[in-house]
Structure 1
Amino acid sequence: MDFSLSSDQQALQETARQFAQRELPTIARDLEERNIPPSRELVRRYAELGFLGINVAPEYGGLGLGNLEALLVVEEFAKISSAVAFPVFESCVGPVRAIEHFGTEALKRRIIPKVCGGEAIVAVSMSEPDAGSALTDLRARGEITADAVILNGSKRWCSGGGHADGYVVYCRLSDAPGANGIGAVFVDKGTPGMTYGPNESLMGFRGVPSSDIHFDNAAVPLDNIVVPAGGFKQLMEAFDLERCGNATMALGQASGALEEVLAYVQERRQFGKPIIDFQAVQLRIAEMQMRVDAARLLIYRAAANAQMGLPSMLESSLAKCFANEIAREVTGHAVQLMGAYGYSREFPMERRLRDAWGWGIAGGAVDIQKVNIASALIGRRFDQRR
């Protein structure tokens, strides 16, 4: 068992770090202030530098590296902000990977190379007004006809809603009850009968657009079926990788906060000396480092054990739950250590705190991850309806 990154992994991590720290802070501030996503020009630049589809197969335009390599890059971008990291997140651990694993060959070749080339953004649409944690209560329905899937219903909290070029939409594809009737289809932006609600105004995640999506007899080709009815388990297997991405986005808020506050406590002077010389500050910094390292190791374990495949529910849920919780704690400590500078919107620390809370809600709330962990430990799912 080797806990060291290889020389190639270290080089990739350093390349991502240098680019992110040199090029993205000013952009991140602008996205935060204006609540707009990264420009298509910036996303194309990511592609040119090899930061999109890192773990996607080369035949679809990716680099063909492992999940760990992808998450190394996600963290370096997330240290700057969730908004600038989101295109990397979506291309490496998002719905594109569900298409790669389960979609038709025609759909893979039509969509994935565009994402890896920075020419398209794909989002996932899962939740509904009455189906968030209880995802098997989905009501949006796709009626399969001779030559199309006809979608009707509404989706909620779609990150990328109204901005992405296509959506992997979870919906009912048969009359079978519960999970047995659920599958997913890919819907192109601009499909007739598809409309969007207004961009949500959230506590954090500014620069990551989110909106409702409504379907009124929206027709999509049969080749756009990603997973047929009864494939809910496959969708959740793909989502195990997205959990690792979510964990890494949360980790990025914490590790970025720690790096920033380490510099601050060595420069900030009170009572005639740097505040790092006070034991209370030393203890707090040590506690923050312990939590960041532990979260990172849980994420690395899930990614490394999956290699090129999909992580297990247990390891991905452990990583997500722990990273979500420590991100809130570490960014909170960082705000406190920086005092008014941490609380001021003139500086990025308060934004890290707001985003850290969001990652523990997105992609399955913290307590749902704990239910997943207990379920994996005893080997059976819990029926929450009885």
Structure 2
Amino acid sequence: MNQKLFNITDEQEMLVETIRDITEKEFKPNSSELEQSGEFPFHNMKILGDLGILGISIPEEYGGSDGTVMDAVLILEEIAKGCYITGMAVLGEIGVQSKAIVAYGSEEQKQKYLPGIAKGETILAICITESEVGSDAGNMKTNSTLEGNSYIVNGTKQLISRADVADLFLVFTRFEGEQGSQGVGCLLVEKGTPGLHVRQGYQTMGGEYLWEVEFDNCAVPIDNVLVRENGFKKLMTAFNTQRCLNASITLGLAEGAFNEALKYTKEREQFGRPVANFQGIQWMLSDMYVEIEASKSLLYRAAINAGKGFPDKIEASVAKLYTNEMAIRVTNQAMQLHGGYGYTKEYPVERMVRGARFGALGGGTSQIQKNLIGRHLLKTDKIF
């Protein structure tokens, strides 16, 4: 369906067509193998790096293309239609990690790290989650104590994406044992730093691996402090970008599953005619389509309003909550429309069902989004 997307520029339409073509020709044919192996898609990332796609969130003076949040949303949406694993890898490069360095990093940090990120030569990992700390990030236990010109980091992070291949880790840490969210900030820790250990990978139902990252008296130069004062608030503001980009991947998965279901129901015949001709099937397809369009409107609003900055907290939460839950419903309906074949690995919809399930867990659960939205509603007696 070649509907014109609303409020996007001619350049963005060209960007969408470029990514769609690459995904169909390069990423989608190998998506099953990547999902089964869980391997990082280095080949696909090189293609995108060479095209300058991985620098979309980075200013031109550091080798990027100085794009908008909407550009990043469109990129991930298209990639996720064909390859969830590649979409998740790209999310790590154009999402909160690079945006945080751009927004909060020193000039030296930007010059040192951003050009490599833009080229796809520096892989990023963000380390927040701990065994007892998931949504309650303000109570993390990982601690950094200043000794001379270095911070000594101790603690363990869990369920970390890309940790096995990362060159640079953005580590959420508590400074000097200061309690509460005010004590939380972020350090940039390079691969190979003594005391940094990546252990025990867990393969997810979507195919990618998540890792444990341990810091054992890991000495990090003081110059590698990304955020210290008012750090937690700044990092959570940057994280609004991740909410939108998380939603863009699940939107793409829903759209990809819908496309597969539409094609299948037109081809599959029962009782002498395509099953798409039955009213009940058309109603299912209609419901799926409307849900996708509603999600797209919410997500695009948040992304367009953000420009090159960070999305509004409530707009991002609303978009993430609805899109994540929508993707679970739509991909499951797409499987249902395939009948028994949808449950087999011969058809891509079962991968999309599994991939879509990540959205409501990563980047803040659906329940956390409802908490954020609920607190916002209670601040006033009149919303509309």
TM-score by length of 1: 0.94
Counterpart CA distance in 2 for 1:158 and 1:276 is 42
Deviation at 1:229, TM superposition (A): 4.7
The answer on whether the counterparts of 2:44 and 2:86 sit within 8 Å (CA) in structure 1 is no
Q: Is the 8 A contact 2:57 2:98 kept in 1?
A: no
Shift of 1:145: 2.4
2: distance between equivalents of 1:256 and 1:343? 16
State the 1:119 CA deviation.
0.6
Q: CA RMSD in A?
A: 1.4
Q: State how far apart, in whole Å, the 1-side matches of 2:50 and 2:203 are.
A: 32
Q: Is 1:86 matched with 2:88?
A: yes
**What is the aligned partner in structure 1 of residue 190 from structure 2?**
188
Match for residue 100 of structure 1 among 99, 102, 110:
102
Q: Distance in 1 between matches of 2:211 and 2:302?
A: 31
1:198 maps to what in 2? 200
The 10-residue stretch of structure 1 (307-316 or 57-66) with the greater mean CA deviation from structure 2 = 57-66
2:77 is matched with which residue? Answer: 75
Q: Cα distance, 1:6 vs. partner?
A: 2.1
Q: Which residue of 2 aligns with 1:282?
A: 282
Q: Deviations over 1:247-271 (max 9, x none)?
A: 1111111011111111111111111
2:216 is matched with which residue? 216
Distance 1:3 1:43 in 2: 29
Aligned residues: 376
Residues in 2 aligned to 1:93 and 1:234: alpha-carbon distance in whole angstroms: 15
Residue of structure 2 in register with 1:384 after alignment:
none
Q: What is the letter of the counterpart of residue 27 of structure 1?
A: N
Aligned to 2:153, the other structure's residue is in SS state: strand
Larger mean Cα displacement after TM superposition, 297-306 or 338-347? 338-347
Match of 2:118 in 1: 116
**Residue in 2 that maps onto 1:36:** 39
Deviates more, 1:220-229 or 1:273-282: 220-229
Opposite residue 98 of structure 1, the aligned amino acid is A
Amino acid of the residue matched to residue 52 of structure 1? L
Deviation (angstroms), 1:273: 0.6
Counterpart of 1:322?
A: 322
Question: Identity across aligned pairs (percent)?
Answer: 36
TM-score, normalisation: structure 2: 0.95
Post-superposition Cα deviations, 1:162-202, rounded to whole Å, max 9, x if no partner, equal 22111101010133321010001011111111111211022
Distance in 1 between residues matched to 2:288 and 2:191, nearest whole Å = 42
Residue 17 of structure 2 aligns with which residue? 14
Question: Secondary structure at 1:197's aligned position in 2?
Answer: strand
Letter in 2 for 1:84: T
Q: Which residue of 1 aligns with 2:140?
A: 138
Q: CA separation in 2, counterparts of 1:237 and 1:266? A: 45
Tell me, in whole angstroms, the C-alpha distance in 1 between the residues paired with 2:146 and 2:242: 28
3-state DSSP class of the match of 1:210?
strand
TM-superposed CA distance for 1:105, in Å, is: 1.4
What are the within-5 Å matches in structure 2 for residues 41-80 of structure 1?
Answer: 41-80=43-82
Structure 2 residue 38 is the aligned partner of structure 1 residue 5: no
Q: Tell me, in whole angstroms, the C-alpha distance in 2 between the residues paired with 1:194 and 1:203.
A: 27
Distance (Å, rounded) in 2 between the aligned partners of 1:256 and 1:53: 25
